[in-house]
Amino acid sequence: MAESTNMRLRLPLLCIILEVILIILFGALVEYNDDTHAKMWNANKSHSATRDDYENEFYYRYPSFQDVHVMIFVGFGFLMTFLQRYGFSSVGFNFLIAAFSLQWATLMQGFVHGMHHGKIHVGVTSMINADFCTGSVLISFGAVLGKTSPVQLLVMAIFEVTLFAVNEFILLSMLGANDAGGSMTIHTFGAYFGLMVTRVLYRPNLDKSKHRNSSVYHSDLFAMIGTIYLWMFWPSFNSAITNYGDPQHRTALNTYYSLAACTLATFAFSALVNPEGKLDMVHIQNAALAGGVAVGTAGEMMLTPFGSMIVGFLAGTISVLGYKYLTPVLESKLKIQDTCGIHNLHGMPGVLGAVVGAVTSALASPGVYGHGLQRVFADAETGKWNPQSRGGFQAISLAVTLGMALFGGLVTGFILKLPIYGAPPDTHCFEDGLYWEELVPPHLAFTF
Amino acid sequence: MAESTNMRLRLPLLCIILEVILIILFGALVEYNDDTHAKMWNANKSHSATRDDYENEFYYRYPSFQDVHVMIFVGFGFLMTFLQRYGFSSVGFNFLIAAFSLQWATLMQGFVHGMHHGKIHVGVTSMINADFCTGSVLISFGAVLGKTSPVQLLVMAIFEVTLFAVNEFILLSMLGANDAGGSMTIHTFGAYFGLMVTRVLYRPNLDKSKHRNSSVYHSDLFAMIGTIYLWMFWPSFNSAITNYGDPQHRTALNTYYSLAACTLATFAFSALVNPEGKLDMVHIQNAALAGGVAVGTAGEMMLTPFGSMIVGFLAGTISVLGYKYLTPVLESKLKIQDTCGIHNLHGMPGVLGAVVGAVTSALASPGVYGHGLQRVFADAETGKWNPQSRGGFQAISLAVTLGMALFGGLVTGFILKLPIYGAPPDTHCFEDGLYWEELVPPHLAFTF
Amino acid sequence: MAESTNMRLRLPLLCIILEVILIILFGALVEYNDDTHAKMWNANKSHSATRDDYENEFYYRYPSFQDVHVMIFVGFGFLMTFLQRYGFSSVGFNFLIAAFSLQWATLMQGFVHGMHHGKIHVGVTSMINADFCTGSVLISFGAVLGKTSPVQLLVMAIFEVTLFAVNEFILLSMLGANDAGGSMTIHTFGAYFGLMVTRVLYRPNLDKSKHRNSSVYHSDLFAMIGTIYLWMFWPSFNSAITNYGDPQHRTALNTYYSLAACTLATFAFSALVNPEGKLDMVHIQNAALAGGVAVGTAGEMMLTPFGSMIVGFLAGTISVLGYKYLTPVLESKLKIQDTCGIHNLHGMPGVLGAVVGAVTSALASPGVYGHGLQRVFADAETGKWNPQSRGGFQAISLAVTLGMALFGGLVTGFILKLPIYGAPPDTHCFEDGLYWEELVPPHLAFTF
């Protein structure tokens, strides 16, 4: 076993080859955009007195970027530390695949979203978009958590990032969809991609590692660090790339209310579904976040705090019920082993968010949005504005996303099934000792 | 026992009823303000060329809001994880009552602070104010930590938020007091309200749970996460709703210096009061924060770094001495069982902050503030400006706050005493197992 | 032993004396700057319509300041909690010496960088600079971690802060060097200062505490909190005091890419140098950060993402190799006991950063930077602009820094060697119990 999971050549080779390719491609293709380029920023300034430093996109987006960055590295990383013997891998592999994905995503998103004279322009907006794409990979990571080697995860990231960029391009550029917070592009895509991967990688004998597939007291507290950071900064996530001014402000506000309502629903249904009325940490850690997912599309629209709270409450409810009743069925009937329950946190709430976005789009009108309409719906300016068809395109976007995710996950799953990546044996899933140097004997750590 | 503390119906019912009421009231009463409304923000823009997106209040306040948000959910949440068997409840109930309180506070503060044509207007400032009010409830939570059911805590929040809004209205609108960082409205109010509640809920036999009312090595490290986040972001807390420009900038600076000086006092007196000269984690976790509380009123004034440091040093000193000498007396003589020692962290430093605010107001003059005077003292514009009477009103505000807090805590305490909320028995205080599904047998977790 | 390490008088006396001196000096010398002063900020506004509140430096720098603040208190503090029995001291002493250093640094940096009519002016930029100087002290703390009393650490901070300010003045003001992210002033200086101190304090019998000089499962997870926060916020660190607009934006971007590439190098070489291909937590926790250190000088220049990634990849590589092969040699041959391996995280990457900065400066040209040249290189305006000599001055700056650090560390080391500070005996290094009140018997905590 030690042989088959040895990372000594596999992991270094893959990391170094990938990074060298990234560096070469960045050297050939990536340039500073006008707001990060010494010559361009100042050239424009000298032409016009109206462009001053406070207009640099840095000041509108960088605080949101840092919040998103915290969600990606601390939020996702620590959320997955709930497993008793998999904390190093949760935080560590999250770190590795995120660091790779954000570079690869910069290239892939740059390719498909349009280059400038053959060059990809980068700045704070590309940083946020790369982090968003990374988030999608980390969602999929949640489904296969504990059952994959770091090499497999990097290979998964290569394919998922690429497909993410294609799907995002179809939605945002071809279908003109709205999805600032990524209910579809990030959550639905990442969830169904990951669920399909874990389906293909189904392990009939995973029971052999069952005793490690659970939490202990401290590991649950570490996971709460992840939960709380995701919860707090979700308003920044959903608003990070909306238009300046009222859309950014409104999106943060809507997300704040959705999450608050979702939290009350989560506590309510967590106690309700337990025979003794006891709360389940799994629900609190995960379902309380579903409200952020579910306003990822409509958050920038005039959803109102009232609407946001209803959506959040629904999202929390279906998420808890999913953890309690659906996850066991998915495993026993559909052979989908979903370690973190991403179907409940990202899958169903993502679909709910897409539907809410389609309905809210279809109800949009100049009477409600005034001159702000085209700041939310880019094509409102063209005169061909038709909210019902907008709603229709939103619905089509959801279908495209589901198709891309399931198909991409299927193909990627089969690629990951090749016996060359050093995947853990069934008896040693959810176990840090396989890939991490041990400092204390396993029977002494975390098992007291 | 299991029966009497069963939350299966109580908690879900209360959560769902409260959230439904909140949603209905939000639907009837809450509207986007001009900075979050698509029509309003852009309508104003077309009228005047001077209003550009960078003037949206979002860019002045949102980074501070996120810092405050971290303090409420991570800061307060983890600060209370110091108890060895109460980490889930500390972070979890903090999460629940904060998510409820911020919604309820939006309504209550909206009601009393003036509606716009029958509507409550929301935006980033209302989000900050709601978080502030929530902070006050969490302070009170610290006094009753480990001895209350989540249902009791929600009921407490209903009453405390309401009274907070009334007291805040009297201070800020009727008495014209300054209290941007809430030495009075948040800290003094929350502390004395909570102390009165815990007095009414006095448990003569709490000794039966004594062995769980202490920390272990790891739980103290988790608590330090809370401490450090509160400490770092306190400059954002005190400056979050001051006027734009110099007041916001100055408040952050004053708070930074006050906290630094407070930390040195805390370490000094913690070692001094111990016979072996050893530091006490309780002091470091709590007293080092008193410097932020104590400049909550005067921080926006021309207190100077020099003045801020003196205040911070005093606050740290009285806080450590309070933990060492006063808390045991409060329990044995006054029957006030104050789990987190909120009297030392929020009570006394809050009163100190109110006094410092009154004195600093009374010393204000156009000579020192120039044209900036009316940006700190709103009524300085009226010509009837009289710093001595300003100082007097500040002192009256403290008295009003103390009265409201003690009276409110008394009434709320008696309401919470009804035997219908599933409160823990004396033998099972400070124990997660009562309300949380257990993953490992209690004798194996956290008691190694 | 208990006697010799007793802090009851030593620590309180030193803290109180230091804070009283600080307060007196602040009272005599420190004033609000124009952006924090009620009179000055508003006086200027009335003169000119162009100066509006959004031009207050607060809005350009405060979000970055808070990120830096998190790095100093959470980042450094928790990074050092990896030791199994030294978590209280790691976070606690980090807290103490940082709170002292930022006050002392405000004075020292104010003295040498030029006073305004005999006064030191403070605002958000002085807060960032003080935090930067504090970072340097905390780097040195990493070398002596576990082997010093809090009194020794405060004495070290007094000297190191002073010398830091002098060295910074020589570099930035006399030599006109660029070093916005402090590859030289912060990292190289802090590292070689600390290495020299620990050399002078060499303990031949440190083996007696060997069993405590290692991590356990949970302590490594706590340390990852520190790592991840440092990693995420490093773009803010390097960009915090660059010029507004494109330099701030570009620096953040370059640092982001450097760190991402560094992380892949770290995972690659960590697995490669282990016979079983297993990853080492020490490498992940530390070497992955070297990419931030290594673009601390050149980050604001037109380094390009391509260049940043090469630098980051190199930094991660040399850092891992340093931990594996150099640290043991430093200890056995040079008698340098470097607890945290600061030579690998700050020393070598700092020197690399200085070299990269010199080369990038020497390659600067108006063709690349356009009108933005003088926003990066202050003396480009003078007409005497000569990139080669700029590069030369950068190289000289590195030499000066190394000299100052080694000399300062030597002198400070001998001062710290006096047997009056209550340093721990060889048998009780890396042990919280010496300076912290114990809540549970040592054999029960963290050793399960």
Q: Is the pLDDT at A423 greater than 50, yes or no?
A: yes
Interface test with B, best of C19, C25, C104 (most B CBs within 10 A): C19
Nearest-Cα distance to chain B for A424, in Å, is 25
Task: Pick the closest to residue A151 from A89, A81, A104, A211 (CA basis).
Answer: A89
Residue A113: per-residue pLDDT: 86
For residue C277, what are its two tokens?
A: 């291909």
Neighbours of chain B (3+ CB pairs under 8 A): A, C
- Partner B contacted by A67 (CB < 8 A): yes
Q: How many pairs of residues across A and B have Cβ atoms under 8 Å apart?
A: 218
For residue C280, what are its two tokens?
A: 């080492």
Residue A380: per-residue pLDDT: 81
Q: Provide the chain C residues 152-211 that lie in CB contact (below 8 A) with chain A.
A: none
In tens, the pLDDT along A66-104 reads 999 999 999 999 999 999 999 999 999 999 999 999 999
Q: How sure is the predictor about C49, in pLDDT bands with cuts at 50, 70 and 90?
A: low
C214/A218 Cβ within 8 A? no
In tens, the pLDDT along A27-55 reads 999 999 999 999 999 886 655 555 689 99
B216/C18 Cβ within 8 A? no
Residue A51: per-residue pLDDT: 67
Q: How sure is the predictor about C381, in pLDDT bands with cuts at 50, 70 and 90?
A: confident
Residues of chain B under the 70 pLDDT cut: 1-3, 44-51, 383, 439-448
Chain B residue with minimal CA distance to A260? B99
Nearest-Cα distance to chain B for C271, in Å, is 30
Beta carbons of A444 and A160 less than 8 angstroms apart = no
- Chain C residues whose CB is inside 8 A of the A97 CB are none
Q: Is the pLDDT at C171 greater than 50, yes or no?
A: yes
Exposed, middle or buried: residue B99 (CB in 10 Å: 0-12, 13-18, 19+)?
buried
Separation CA C137–CA C98 (nearest Å): 8
Residue B446: per-residue pLDDT: 42
- Partner A contacted by B96 (CB < 8 A): yes
Separation CA C326–CA C344 (nearest Å): 8
In tens, the pLDDT along B223-245 reads 999 999 999 999 999 999 999 99
Task: Pick the closest to residue A264 from B168, B103, C238, C123 (CA basis).
Answer: B103
Phi/psi of residue C118, nearest 5 degrees? 80, 10
Closest CB to A123 among C228, C253, C269: C253
- Partner B contacted by A267 (CB < 8 A): yes
Residue A384: per-residue pLDDT: 73
Residue C62: per-residue pLDDT: 97
Exposed, middle or buried: residue C51 (CB in 10 Å: 0-12, 13-18, 19+)?
middle
Mention every residue, 6+ apart, whose C-beta is less than 8 A from residue B398: B184, B188, B351, B354, B355, B358
- Chain B residues whose CB is inside 8 A of the C81 CB are 221
Beta carbons of B286 and B345 less than 8 angstroms apart = yes
Residue C448: per-residue pLDDT: 31
B43/A370 Cβ within 8 A? yes
In tens, the pLDDT along C307-323 reads 999 999 999 999 999 99
A191-195, A269-273, C234-238, C380-384: least confident range: C380-384
Residue C50: per-residue pLDDT: 56
A215/B66 Cβ within 8 A? no
Beta carbons of B186 and B129 less than 8 angstroms apart = no
- Partner A contacted by B120 (CB < 8 A): no
Buried b (16+ CB within 10 A) or exposed e, C311-334: bbbbbbbbbbbbbbebbeebeeee
Tell me which of C50 and A89 has the higher pLDDT.
Answer: A89
Q: What is the mean pLDDT of residues A388-396?
A: 94
Closest CB to B369 among C16, C38, C88: C38
Chain B residue with minimal CA distance to C81? B221
A58/C306 Cβ within 8 A? no
ipTM: 0.96
Q: What is the mean pLDDT of residues A137-149?
A: 98
Q: What is the mean pLDDT of residues C339-362?
A: 97
Beta carbons of A310 and B23 less than 8 angstroms apart = yes
User: How many residues would you count in chain B?
Assistant: 448
For A287, the enclosing helix (H) or strand (E) is: none
Average pLDDT, rounded, for chain C: 94
Residue C383: per-residue pLDDT: 67
Residue indicated by tokens 């980042």? C75
- Partner B contacted by C222 (CB < 8 A): yes
C66/B67 Cβ within 8 A? yes
Q: CA-based angle C237:C240:C243, to the nearest 5?
A: 140
Separation CA C42–CA B369 (nearest Å): 9
- Chain C residues whose CB is inside 8 A of the A35 CB are 245-246, 249
Q: Which domains does chain C possess? A: 9-417 (1.10.3430.10)
Q: What is the mean pLDDT of residues C226-239?
A: 98
Task: For CA atoms B71, B74, B78, B80, give the dihedral sign.
Answer: positive
Residue A114: per-residue pLDDT: 77
Residue B36: per-residue pLDDT: 95
Separation CA C119–CA A228 (nearest Å): 44
For residue A89, what are its two tokens?
A: 């891998």
Residue B448: per-residue pLDDT: 31
B306/C437 Cβ within 8 A? no
Closest CB to B12 among A248, A271, A372: A271
In tens, the pLDDT along A326-339 reads 999 999 999 999 99
- Partner A contacted by C257 (CB < 8 A): yes
Separation CA A402–CA A156 (nearest Å): 18
Closest CB to A66 among C214, C233, C274: C233
DSSP bridge pairs for A110: none
Nearest-Cα distance to chain C for A6, in Å, is 6
DSSP A18-45: HHHHHHHHHHHHEEE-TTT-HHHHHHHH
Interface test with C, best of A39, A154, A447 (most C CBs within 10 A): A39
Residue A445: per-residue pLDDT: 46
Q: Is A415 helix (H, G, I), strand (E, B) or coil?
A: helix
Task: For CA atoms B447, B448, C2, C6, give the dihedral sign.
Answer: negative
